Amino acid sequence: MNQKLNRYLSLMTLSLCCLLLTGCWDRKELNQLAITSATAIDWDGKVWTVSYQVVIPQSIANPNTGGSPGQQAPVMVFSTSGGSIRGAVQQSSLEMPRSLFFAHNRVIVIGEKAAKEGISQLLDVYLRNSDSRETVGILVTSGEGRKILEQIVPLEKVPGAAIKNMIHNETENGSNFQQVSMYQMMMGIASDAPFTLVPEIVISGEGENTTIATLKKTSFTNKLRLGRMAVFKKDKLIGWFTAEQEYGISWIRNTIQQTTLFFGCTEGSKDIKAALRVDQSKSKLKPFFSEDGHLVMHVDVYTSGTLNENGCPNDPTQPKDLHTMERIASAEITRLMADAFQVAVQNNLDVFHFADAIHKHDPKIWKQVKPDWGEHFAKLELATNVKVKITRIGMSGKAFKEMSKETGE
């Protein structure tokens, strides 16, 4: 009897607990939220300005496209200011009928003045708030971040998603620029070499695309594009690298995924005639001390890919000519790495994270050089060994120009 009573009481207790737990204590309906697809941070010397690219749901759901007179823009952009970043966000409640929802925020565009001032406050906001995701992408612009959010981008209804896809596409297929998320920025600041490279986004061309009517055109006088790479030391912007210099850095840092390497018919030639589609690439770093006591960083690079353009007289079907083209491609990669390394050393910027590589590979060496790492990096020597393997040459042997000459003869 007692056992039955105990079971009955236990069942009643569990049922009451389930009743108490049902429902969402902080539930908000979709029509109460303003979904933010991108944000921008600017600084004018006194206050922070946060700009929001808010999605207009009824415009996104509308199947009509082409910029008809009655069509509404897919997003709206507005800004609020305050003494702190969170304080600026709080001001949004004074002019918005809905609560801002940041869980779908794709990118943050940081204005140059804000980047130079320092973004530690922004990082702190993302660490403390549950509605902000550390996977959001970071970009820098030389002007105001808000200007970037105002641009209409063809092919994508939501500009914030277009910007995110743009840098993702470049990371996957070009490797000149690397996508940087909020948590990667934090990890870079906390590393032995506190330097982080962040892509720049710019408005190229003339004018701006800020109205939906521009989608009625088949061409644009301007567009959003990736520019340079911003160099952050800890949380502050301190300089820039060109796209080519960043490309050389990528070969050293083993961040090449898929890319196309362009080279000439002879070593060092600036007359580009051939292209290699890189399918696989692997770079390994190994630090050691030379016989005269200098610290040397040895970089081994192995790359393989498909020859997808050939304007040189070389015939890749012949082993001798194929090896010549592989040697020229290897020399081009070596040049790219050497040029990037020289600029970084001249400015004492360990953007390669050599400090982390040394610490991981040989803690004893790192313990020896850590106290004056800046001086060691300035005297660091780079030793490279690059091997390129052309695994496929396509459906043709000689260049079409060369074959047409033979036909004419």
Q: In 3D, which of 312, 328, 281, 333 has the Cα closest to residue 397?
A: 312
CA distance 267 to 245: 19
Whether residue 223 sits in one domain with residue 90: yes
Last residue of a domain, one of 241, 267, 289: 241
pLDDT attached to residue 69: 46
Does residue 368 surpass a pLDDT of 60?
Answer: yes
Tell which wins on pLDDT, 57 or 187: 187
pLDDT attached to residue 216: 72
Tell which wins on pLDDT, 302 or 32: 302
Asked if residue 26 lies in contact with residue 33, where contact means CB atoms within 8 angstroms, the answer is no
CATH (domain of 335): 3.30.300.210
- Classify residue 312: in a domain, yes or no: yes
Asked if residue 107 lies in contact with residue 151, where contact means CB atoms within 8 angstroms, the answer is no
Whether residue 204 sits in one domain with residue 61: yes
What are the structure tokens assigned to 173, written together?
Answer: 């297929």
Over residues 15-31, the mean pLDDT reads 60
Over residues 385-400, the mean pLDDT reads 82
Whether residue 113 sits in one domain with residue 235: yes
Whether residue 221 sits in one domain with residue 250: no
pLDDT attached to residue 199: 95
Q: What confidence tens digit (pLDDT) does each residue in 92-112 have?
A: 888 888 888 888 899 999 999
Whether residue 285 sits in one domain with residue 308: yes
Angle separating helix axes 243-253 and 319-346, nearest 10 degrees: 110
Over residues 191-200, the mean pLDDT reads 92
Whether residue 362 sits in one domain with residue 234: no
- Classify residue 20: in a domain, yes or no: no
pLDDT attached to residue 156: 81
Does residue 401 surpass a pLDDT of 70?
Answer: no
pTM assigned to the model: 0.86
Confidence band (pLDDT; 50, 70, 90) for 349? very high
- Classify residue 14: in a domain, yes or no: no
- Classify residue 278: in a domain, yes or no: yes
Q: What confidence tens digit (pLDDT) does each residue in 2-15 have?
A: 666 666 666 677 66
Last residue of a domain, one of 188, 215, 241: 241
pLDDT attached to residue 4: 64
Supply the mean pLDDT for the chain. Answer: 86
Q: Domain range spanning residue 406?
A: 244-409
pLDDT attached to residue 8: 63
* Residue 396 neighbours by CB distance under 10 Å: 12
- Classify residue 12: in a domain, yes or no: no
- Classify residue 8: in a domain, yes or no: no
- Classify residue 214: in a domain, yes or no: yes
Tell which wins on pLDDT, 132 or 163: 163
Last residue of a domain, one of 241, 262, 292: 241
Q: In 3D, which of 343, 128, 349, 379 has the Cα closest to residue 237?
A: 349
Whether residue 230 sits in one domain with residue 251: no
Over residues 326-351, the mean pLDDT reads 95
Over residues 299-308, the mean pLDDT reads 95
Confidence band (pLDDT; 50, 70, 90) for 30? low
Asked if residue 114 lies in contact with residue 174, where contact means CB atoms within 8 angstroms, the answer is no
Whether residue 236 sits in one domain with residue 248: no
- Classify residue 305: in a domain, yes or no: yes
Whether residue 408 sits in one domain with residue 291: yes
Confidence band (pLDDT; 50, 70, 90) for 119? very high
pLDDT attached to residue 83: 92
Whether residue 43 sits in one domain with residue 61: yes
* Residue 327 neighbours by CB distance under 10 Å: 14
Total structural domains within the chain = 2
Over residues 334-349, the mean pLDDT reads 95
Whether residue 237 sits in one domain with residue 256: no
| Phi (first) and psi of residue 236, to 5 degrees | -120, 140
Confidence band (pLDDT; 50, 70, 90) for 113? very high
Whether residue 338 sits in one domain with residue 373: yes
Q: What confidence tens digit (pLDDT) does each residue in 204-262 have?
A: 877 677 677 777 777 777 889 999 999 999 999 999 999 999 999 999 999 998 899 99
